[in-house]
A and B are shown apart, each in its own frame.
Chain A
Amino acid sequence: MIKLKTPISEQEIRKLKVGDTVLLSGTVVTGRDEAHKLMVEQKPDFIREALKEAVIYHCGPVVKKLDNGKWIFVSAGPTTSSREEPFQADVVCEYNIRGVIGKGGMGDKTAEGLKRCGAVYFHAVGGAGTLIANSVKEVKTVYKLEEFGTPEAFWVIEVEDFPVVVTMDANGGSLHKEIKEKSEKIANELMGI
């Protein structure tokens, strides 16, 4: 088990390889479809500082606002990452991001971006909403809440020991590609084609 804390250097991230189990701590920013579209089309600066050498998380949380005005995360597992495939490589390089957390993995364009700019894809356990929310220690701020709604907003959070697995590394390795090729071969055998 590897422990990592943001800010993460390029050197540290390039040491990780497919299959490594990581406990991640530090700053994480949630971003889904609307956020990625915005970051590619308008390159806003308000999120630059939070993302620098930190991690973006494909997640639309269930949140609760306390009486003192503070937010807490109630349930916060990953959403399917492939929807961000058209945007991810550009976002990683533009904002100097070191890690992308999501589920289901991403494609060749992202793999190339991770390699070029020094970042990895961390796979979280899909559906483990309560467990992951328990690793969120603080909600620092939120951007675009009114405009995008709860699931799509940028939530800037502080996490401690968030459990993830490296499934795409900064050297071009991808577990998803391996499993896909292997399972397609077995499927063809089962179907007799």
Chain B
Amino acid sequence: MELKESILELIRKAATDLSPDVEKALNDAYNKEGEGTPAKNVMGTILENVHMAREQSTPMCQDTGSLVFYIDFPVGESEAKYREAALWAAKEGTAKQYLRPNAVDPLTAKNSGNNVGVNAPYFHFHQWDKDEVRIRLMLKGGGSENVGAQYKLPHPPIKAGRDLKGVRKLVIDAVVKAQGQGCSPGIIGVGIGGGRDISYALSKEQFFRKIGERHPMKELADLEVQLLEDLNKLEIGPMGFGGKSTILDVFIDSQSRHPASYIVSVSYTCWAFRRKTMTIKNGEVSYD
């Protein structure tokens, strides 16, 4: 298969075939909700929808999101090759209805109709020393993007100071403000430190971790576990109808900060948590 066609298949899989770790988490959430509750009903509908989308090869959610590519490629290769193939795949994926046209010009309000525009799709390129190519794709929904939040510590309204206790408070604050608007049960990515742009970038890249995958640093892993417990006590529940499952997992990472700044970013993704990885090694393409 040509590169561009392999990327088209990556897009199709991301939009229509929910990853097993997420599906398992949704199943667990379904089992936790009480019989006959709106929450149980919603989780049942979500699971049925996931199965239907996979069988019919149609987008599980009509908001197929913004396309964000993270491409790692070997030394000596050009970015252009990957960019061109991905742009072709985005256009073709739109024509095949794997994707809804989601690139709108803010000045004219015109939709490009094919998901290609200025910084759309967006690319994070990284040259690495491995003899293989890794293309990761996230389809980031707009509703959940709107409930993401960035804070600088200290944050007096909730008495959040410059430490992990402060970080815990503002993640709770962001999730309670989001209510069901981000299509709960959602997944939370947290980036601690860095400037405003790279703080958000760090929080979002966490979404490539698998559900249940804890951070190698004990302090952050403990905070992830603590927050997962805290957030599910809020009883916002699926779609904000009330219930036990508000958040499926919390992924945190940290990076150096400027002495004067303590920026924390909270990214939210809906239950339709669409990210897939494609690897090309010795001419063989595999997907995860």
Q: Which of B104, B110, B235 contacts A182 (CB 8 A)?
A: B235
B interface: dominant SS: loop
How many Å from the CB of A182 to the closest CB on chain B? 6
Docked pose: A175 CA to B101 CA in angstroms:
33
How many Å from the CB of B223 to the closest CB on chain A? 14
A46-58, CB under 8 A of B: which get 1 and which 0?
0000000000000
User: Given that A104-B180, A127-B270, A149-B104 are known contacts, is A179 also in contact with B59, CB under 8 Å in the complex?
Assistant: no
Interface residues of B (CB under 8 A from A): 38, 41-42, 45-46, 48-49, 52-53, 56, 58-64, 97, 99-102, 104, 109-111, 113, 141-143, 146, 158-160, 169, 172-173, 176, 179-181, 183, 230, 233-237, 239-242, 270-272
B159 and A105 contact, CB distance less than 8 A: no
Report the nearest B residue to A33, measured CB to CB.
Answer: B109
B235 and A130 contact, CB distance less than 8 A: no
Docked pose: A40 CA to B113 CA in angstroms:
26
A interface: dominant SS: mixed
How many Å from the CB of A148 to the closest CB on chain B? 8
A127 and B183 contact, CB distance less than 8 A: yes
Docked pose: A125 CA to B237 CA in angstroms:
12
How many Å from the CB of B166 to the closest CB on chain A? 10
When distances are taken between beta carbons in the complex, the residues of chain A under 8 Å from B104 are 149
How many Å from the CB of B233 to the closest CB on chain A? 6
Docked pose: A187 CA to B41 CA in angstroms:
25
How many Å from the CB of A43 to the closest CB on chain B? 20
A92-132, CB under 8 A of B: which get 1 and which 0?
00000000000111000000000000000001011111111
A180 and B241 contact, CB distance less than 8 A: no
Q: Told that A103-B239, A176-B240 touch, could you supply 16 new A-B pairs with CB distance under 8 A?
A: A21-B38, A60-B100, A61-B62, A62-B97, A76-B62, A77-B62, A80-B143, A123-B239, A129-B58, A132-B49, A133-B58, A175-B242, A180-B179, A183-B236, A187-B172, A193-B158
A127 and B240 contact, CB distance less than 8 A: no
Q: Which of A75, A134, A152 contacts B59 (CB 8 A)?
A: A75
Q: How many A-B residue pairs lie within 8 Å, measured between CB atoms?
A: 171
Docked pose: A102 CA to B58 CA in angstroms:
21
How many Å from the CB of A176 to the closest CB on chain B? 6
B111 and A151 contact, CB distance less than 8 A: yes
When distances are taken between beta carbons in the complex, the residues of chain B under 8 Å from A59 are 62
B49 and A128 contact, CB distance less than 8 A: yes
Most A CB within 10 A of own CB, among B48, B100, B230, B233:
B100
B52 and A134 contact, CB distance less than 8 A: yes
Interface residues of A (CB under 8 A from B): 19, 21, 34, 59-64, 74-77, 79-80, 82, 103-105, 123, 125-134, 149-152, 163, 165, 167, 175-176, 178-180, 182-184, 186-187, 190-193
Report the nearest B residue to A150, measured CB to CB.
Answer: B101
Q: Which of A77, A190, A193 contacts B61 (CB 8 A)?
A: A77
User: Given that A75-B58, A149-B101, A179-B236 are known contacts, is A105 also in contact with B48, CB under 8 Å in the complex?
Assistant: no
A105 and B158 contact, CB distance less than 8 A: no
Docked pose: A122 CA to B64 CA in angstroms:
23
How many Å from the CB of A91 to the closest CB on chain B? 20
4 closest cross-chain pairs (CB), A and B: A149-B111, A126-B183, A75-B62, A131-B49
A191 and B180 contact, CB distance less than 8 A: no
Docked pose: A59 CA to B62 CA in angstroms:
8
B53 and A149 contact, CB distance less than 8 A: no
A-B contact pairs, 7 of them (CB 8 A): A125-B46, A132-B49, A176-B179, A179-B179, A187-B173, A187-B234, A191-B160
Docked pose: A182 CA to B49 CA in angstroms:
30
Docked pose: A74 CA to B60 CA in angstroms:
10
When distances are taken between beta carbons in the complex, the residues of chain B under 8 Å from A104 are 143, 179-181, 240
When distances are taken between beta carbons in the complex, the residues of chain B under 8 Å from A125 are 42, 45-46, 49, 239
When distances are taken between beta carbons in the complex, the residues of chain A under 8 Å from B230 are 190
Docked pose: A34 CA to B179 CA in angstroms:
25
Most B CB within 10 A of own CB, among A19, A184, A190, A192:
A190
Most A CB within 10 A of own CB, among B63, B64, B97:
B63
Report the nearest B residue to A82, measured CB to CB.
Answer: B181
B59 and A165 contact, CB distance less than 8 A: no
Docked pose: A187 CA to B56 CA in angstroms:
41
B239 and A126 contact, CB distance less than 8 A: yes
Docked pose: A104 CA to B241 CA in angstroms:
9
User: Given that A183-B179, A184-B176 are known contacts, is A130 also in contact with B143, CB under 8 Å in the complex?
Assistant: no
